[in-house]
Amino acid sequence: MTENLAAMVDAGRSILVVVDVQARLAPHIADRERVERRCLALVQGARAVGVPVLLTEHCPEAIGPTLASLRELVPPSQILGKRHFSAMDEAALPEALGQAGRTQVLVGGMEAHVCVLQTVLGIVAAGYDCWVIRDACGSRSGEDRLAAFERARAGGARLVTAEMVLFEWLRGADHPAFKRVHGLIKGF
């Protein structure tokens, strides 16, 4: 039984990282509405169950800020600028992960095969249990997106969906945030 629980996402051990869901990048992502909806629901769900959230912005002066719908949900101190493709190659993300004291890092965002993948590989290399949220990740092409998932899994990350994550954070219908989170899932 312990082994099964270890293979599940746990709200008390999780932190959510949403990578580069930015104004000038988002319009070029295949099925971007799905990715944006999932990222938004994940951030709202994380807040409802007490999971910390970090957002990254890659070269925001060129690519624009994080989409306003996400940006308004987190304080500016939880939005980390970056110039490297891997947010783990910047000082801010490793520092924030260390301060959070969580062992499970859940990742979604854009682009799956570049910044998301490189960040995920860095998170795994740093010794965290990393989960890639497939339906909350996007790329310009489907082929690149799927290749990113194969590479992330081969690199030691686990693959999940947004709905899996949200229900695993809740664990059951008696959770105080169940109705709120269930409403987010219905909005998919």
C-alpha neighbours within 13 Å on the C-beta side of residue 108: 27
CA-CA distance, 17 to 97, in Å (whole number)? 10
CA-CA distance, 165 to 8, in Å (whole number)? 9
Nearest to 124 by CA among 99, 147, 142, 104: 104
Sketch the domain layout of the chain as residue ranges.
13-186
Please state the pTM of the whole predicted model. Answer: 0.96
Residues of the chain with pLDDT under 50: 1-3
Query: What's residue 6's pLDDT?
Result: 64
User: Which CATH code for domain 13-186?
Assistant: 3.40.50.850
Query: What's residue 7's pLDDT?
Result: 86
Burial tier of 170 (Cβ tally within 10 Å: 0-12, 13-18, 19+) = buried
Cβ pair 123, 88 in contact under 8 A: yes
pLDDT tens for 104-130 read 999 999 999 999 999 999 999 999 999
Query: What's residue 187's pLDDT?
Result: 86
Query: What's residue 3's pLDDT?
Result: 46
Query: What's residue 1's pLDDT?
Result: 37
